[in-house]
């Protein structure tokens, strides 16, 4: 299973690199927001979330003390200005890397991993990827939000934000549970 997760992460990186994250030519402005996809894999499951879906009426139930991989892909044919993935600090350890590069912003509760792109060196896609471990909860539970944002050079914005629960025996089981 660990090899499968690593293989998928490496495969996603290779696809982005082969397709060329870098944009040929200058930034182009349009009214179409970037596409944004977030994939979380671990505990025997894979969850794919897209910016076109509404995640306000549910939660993602994850297993405690489990390692998950996460991939956040932002793409825009005119150029991606920024992509950002925000994870709570209680998901430790967490190792996130950005392509082409990333900056980590540290708040009291979260780490935000951000890829900022310059207009003079545009990219048509970015990738934030890595892994995290959910907390051990005993008989209790932990609840928090995970969020991702992407913007293009016209400031069109795409976002994914959802609640996550970590507990040993969640109502509705593991995975996405609608309210």
* Domain of residue 100, CATH code: 2.60.40
The distance in angstroms from the start CA to the end CA of the chain is 30
Contacts with 162 (C-beta within 8 Å, 6 or more apart), sequence order: 49, 55, 58, 59, 60, 145, 146, 147
Distance CA 106, CA 4 (A): 31
| Tally of domains in the chain | 1
pLDDT score, position 23: 86
The pTM (predicted TM-score) of the whole model is 0.88
pLDDT per residue as tens, the chain (179 positions) = 556 555 555 555 555 443 448 888 899 999 999 999 999 999 999 999 999 999 999 999 999 999 999 999 999 999 999 999 999 999 999 999 999 989 999 999 999 999 999 999 999 999 999 999 999 988 889 999 999 999 999 999 999 999 999 999 999 999 999 98
Q: Name the residue range of residue 146's domain.
A: 2-178
């Amino acid at each position: 299973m660990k090899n499968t997760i690593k293989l998928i992460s490496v495969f996603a990186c290779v696809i982005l690199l082969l397709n060329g994250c870098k944009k040929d030519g200058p930034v182009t402005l349009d009214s179409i927001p970037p596409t944004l996809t977030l994939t979380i894999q671990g505990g025997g499951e894979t969850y794919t979330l897209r910016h076109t879906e509404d995640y306000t009426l549910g939660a993602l139930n994850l297993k405690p003390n489990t390692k998950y991989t996460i991939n956040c892909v932002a793409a825009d044919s005119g150029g991606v200005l920024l992509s950002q993935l925000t994870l709570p600090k209680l998901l430790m350890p967490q190792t996130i890397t950005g392509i082409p590069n990333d900056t980590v912003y540290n708040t009291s509760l979260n780490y935000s991993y951000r890829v900022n792109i310059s207009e003079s060196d545009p990219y048509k896609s970015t990738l934030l990827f890595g892994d995290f471990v959910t907390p051990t909860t005993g008989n209790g539970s932990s609840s928090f939000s995970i969020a991702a944002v992407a913007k293009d050079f016209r400031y069109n914005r795409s976002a994914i934000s959802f609640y996550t629960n970590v507990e040993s025996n969640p109502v509705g089981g593991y995975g996405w549970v609608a309210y």
